A and B are shown apart, each in its own frame.
Chain A
């Protein structure tokens, strides 16, 4: 092969060359991790695999086929065509310029938990900080068109867990995902977003601020290289990474048939804990969660329910005093307290509040504004109030 001869002419330090081989192996289109590792094992090293002749590759494919790992014609062609020195170098420079890092299964820093799942990605792109394998991680997933209850719960759970040093993983999608990331960031925690598109594309675009902020306190991870569009089939695929990177999966709001449940299924296959936040039985958005609980998922009514599985019990006890309710002590007078008690996580209209509390509208509004200024409640929709967790 003429090109192979030309490749040998380059002078590069061994480390640099190694990077180049790894990147080549990780970016062969359509080739999954198991085949890549089988190939490398066959040749006894990635360098030999890179320089192998077409004949040697065909032999390797035949041998692997006997062991049950079948390379197709197209895959072999891809392996051969991918060995374009200039193109790989160009790509690596592009990544460097744009601050995109990557890690492959041949590296020690490859997330440990991900190695053991079915069909792990051979190469992961990431922006921001390297994913720490030694820390506990929880993924928080749920509906895109979530309710105010879901938003607040996602923020609260993510914040409380992140404060305990637990990494929050989610998909940077609209709804629950975004709010989980926001919750973790506002608690100064670490959070990672797994994308279903190229690492340099922010999808959905309105999350651009989140996308940038997360790189300071965690990172963005994707198995798709720069410029790859968010295609529908990418998302179920990235769900396996979400569940694979985490120790447990918490579902906040999911309809009966929800994409979040795919993540749960994958998580179960990977042996992860499943947590579900219950909702009212009449809420469509909680049907999926309630079903999960019925089937044995752990019901989450406070962050402690998740924490006790992940950190020392002693630690869990300490956090108890930091739950949402306690901070009110001494802040509210009895009338304000009465109004506050009437407000839940479902937006409630002032008129209903007036009926519940028995206050006249004018007085009620005085207390509402006072509570709002104290940051205890908010007005997600005009004239309707919810508690802030």
Chain B
């Protein structure tokens, strides 16, 4: 007796359909599973046997062989328990074989026969629709997540028994459905995890930093904030997602797929807010970019289309930070293993904060007694190439008590978001069909095309280039930022004022840090 069910495995951020074949024949009693299995998949044998028994099915002493194909792809995760059980039951004749043909089955079994939730349901269901499956049977707890994918029926099953009944007659069951419109309306969670109600108007003062952040978000420029402890750097960073344009459905799907694989979706069906990831500085490079024996997405992928906030930048391990350089350029990270190469998206905006020196108060000499050498050493913890990736660099000044007391009407995130959206739209129109979306993605060649400068502006840049000993990279950075400032201004032309402001945001140069020369 032979039967075949279908399941899927995560490969990178996509699902790959796997057929689960079971054969029951006479011979010495044996239950064997083959097909390049990870240990957790091999262990399915015990779970399946006992779950079958506890669900009231006989497990006759036969020679049972289960094959997961294609056999050259490593199978991992616990989602194969249910399809294996179903394939065996089908071979024994408990399930109608016809229904298995167009059904994707995923789920982990508990010994008593209940189906437990698994990671990565969204990309798996998505892959099933892509391959033309009609329906999916997923764990009940994952049903909402799977139902987000349109064009495929998703059934949530609570127990193995229920799943079997379902497969024998889908007509008696209703596929799960979610109202995507409702999902997007219900409260925007900034970091996709917490539902704190945060808004830019919470931050008193800091007009210059807010302006810099607005520019950074508009053009997706990476931004570095420097300032003494308690000046509000972290507070400001946390509010950046609130001024980013709202997620479109496609963007939301992209992010949710990653979160689904990482098992971070929780009870939600979709991530509807911009991600905000703030890893602690003790993070390893693998955790940051992703990896592991069986690769998992790292923080930079979890921050895709959102913000990666590196608080206390110099405290990060130097080597950990260096691995960011390539993903920052590529907007994706490629992890190669012997068996396969995985590619995770990483189109994040990098926001970092740091103190100006180890005590944090330079240049306030009443509080800071750091020698210039100490300051340089502190700054030297960040490599020049990484520093070069920050288009905008701004100091957050200490807020004095008076400013905190005055109840000024600060701009709300919604107001700022409107301007950001307008600037983004200008960029989108300009770069339509070019494969780029933001000013920060401009290459030196395309800068020439999209950022025409008049004589006066050229002259200013030339002077600044000479005087401030700018590097070629810094030069391009200034033009890109100036382009964004002009877009915020709805100005087609880049003017002297735009360039001046961009020069003001130029990144720190170790040589000039703490006084010229020397």
Interface residues of A (CB under 8 A from B): 144-148, 151, 174-175, 178-179, 182, 204, 206-207, 210, 282-285, 347, 349-352, 354, 361-363, 365-366, 368-370, 372-373, 375, 378-384
- B371: chain A residues at CB < 8 Å are 144-145, 174
Are B363 and A366 within 8 A (Cβ)? no
Are A380 and B373 within 8 A (Cβ)? no
Please report the number of residue pairs spanning A and B whose Cβ atoms sit closer than 8 angstroms.
Answer: 109
- A362: chain B residues at CB < 8 Å are 485, 497-498, 500-501
- B501: chain A residues at CB < 8 Å are 361-362, 365-366
**Which 10 A-B pairs rank lowest in CB-CB distance, beginning with the nearest?**
A383-B395, A147-B365, A366-B500, A369-B500, A351-B208, A349-B397, A365-B504, A365-B501, A366-B497, A382-B395
Are A283 and B226 within 8 A (Cβ)? no
Chain A residue nearest to B362 in the complex (CB) = A381
Does B207 have its Cβ within 8 Å of any Cβ on chain A? Answer: yes
CA distance A361 to B505 in the complex (A): 12
Main secondary structure of the interface of A (DSSP, over half): helix
Does B393 have its Cβ within 8 Å of any Cβ on chain A? Answer: yes
Chain B residue nearest to A347 in the complex (CB) = B363
Give B188 Cβ to nearest chain A Cβ, in Å.
28
Query: Which of B206, B207, B503, B508 touches A369 (beta carbons < 8 Å)?
Result: B503
Given contacts A349-B208, A366-B501, contact A382 B393 (CB under 8 A): yes
Encode B261-301 as 1/0 by CB contact (under 8 A) with A: 00000000000000000000000000000000000000000
Are B365 and A285 within 8 A (Cβ)? yes
For chain B, which range describes its interface: under 10, 10 to 19, 20 to 34, or 35 or more residues? 35 or more
Query: Which of A148, A366, A369, A382 touches B515 (beta carbons < 8 Å)?
Result: A148
CA distance A284 to B503 in the complex (A): 34
Are A380 and B369 within 8 A (Cβ)? no
- A351: chain B residues at CB < 8 Å are 205-209, 397
Are B517 and A381 within 8 A (Cβ)? no
Does B58 have its Cβ within 8 Å of any Cβ on chain A? Answer: no
- A365: chain B residues at CB < 8 Å are 497, 500-501, 503-504
Q: Which of B344-398 contact A (CB under 8 A)?
A: 356, 362-363, 365-366, 369-373, 393-395, 397
Are B363 and A384 within 8 A (Cβ)? yes
- List 24 interface pairs A-B (beta carbons < 8 Å), by A numbering: A145-B369, A147-B365, A178-B518, A206-B373, A284-B365, A285-B365, A349-B395, A350-B208, A351-B206, A361-B501, A362-B500, A365-B497, A365-B504, A368-B500, A372-B468, A378-B516, A379-B512, A380-B514, A380-B516, A381-B362, A381-B363, A381-B513, A381-B514, A383-B226
CA distance A206 to B208 in the complex (A): 35
Which of B397, B467, B500 is packed against the most chain A CB atoms within 10 Å? B500
CA distance A370 to B464 in the complex (A): 9
Encode B451-468 as 1/0 by CB contact (under 8 A) with A: 000000000100110011
Query: Which of B208, B226, B369, B464 touches A361 (beta carbons < 8 Å)?
Result: B208
Chain B residue nearest to A255 in the complex (CB) = B369
Chain B residue nearest to A350 in the complex (CB) = B208
Are B365 and A283 within 8 A (Cβ)? yes
Does B323 have its Cβ within 8 Å of any Cβ on chain A? Answer: no
Query: Which of B496, B497, B518 touches A206 (beta carbons < 8 Å)?
Result: B518
Give A258 Cβ to nearest chain B Cβ, in Å.
12
Does B211 have its Cβ within 8 Å of any Cβ on chain A? Answer: yes
Which of B205, B208, B463 is packed against the most chain A CB atoms within 10 Å? B208
Query: Which of B395, B468, B518 touches A384 (beta carbons < 8 Å)?
Result: B395
- B513: chain A residues at CB < 8 Å are 381
Are B515 and A350 within 8 A (Cβ)? no
CA distance A182 to B515 in the complex (A): 12
CA distance A179 to B371 in the complex (A): 14
CA distance A382 to B373 in the complex (A): 18
Are A145 and B393 within 8 A (Cβ)? no
Known: A283-B365, A381-B513, A382-B393. 10 other contacts (CB 8 A): A145-B365, A179-B515, A282-B366, A283-B366, A349-B395, A365-B500, A366-B500, A373-B460, A373-B464, A381-B395
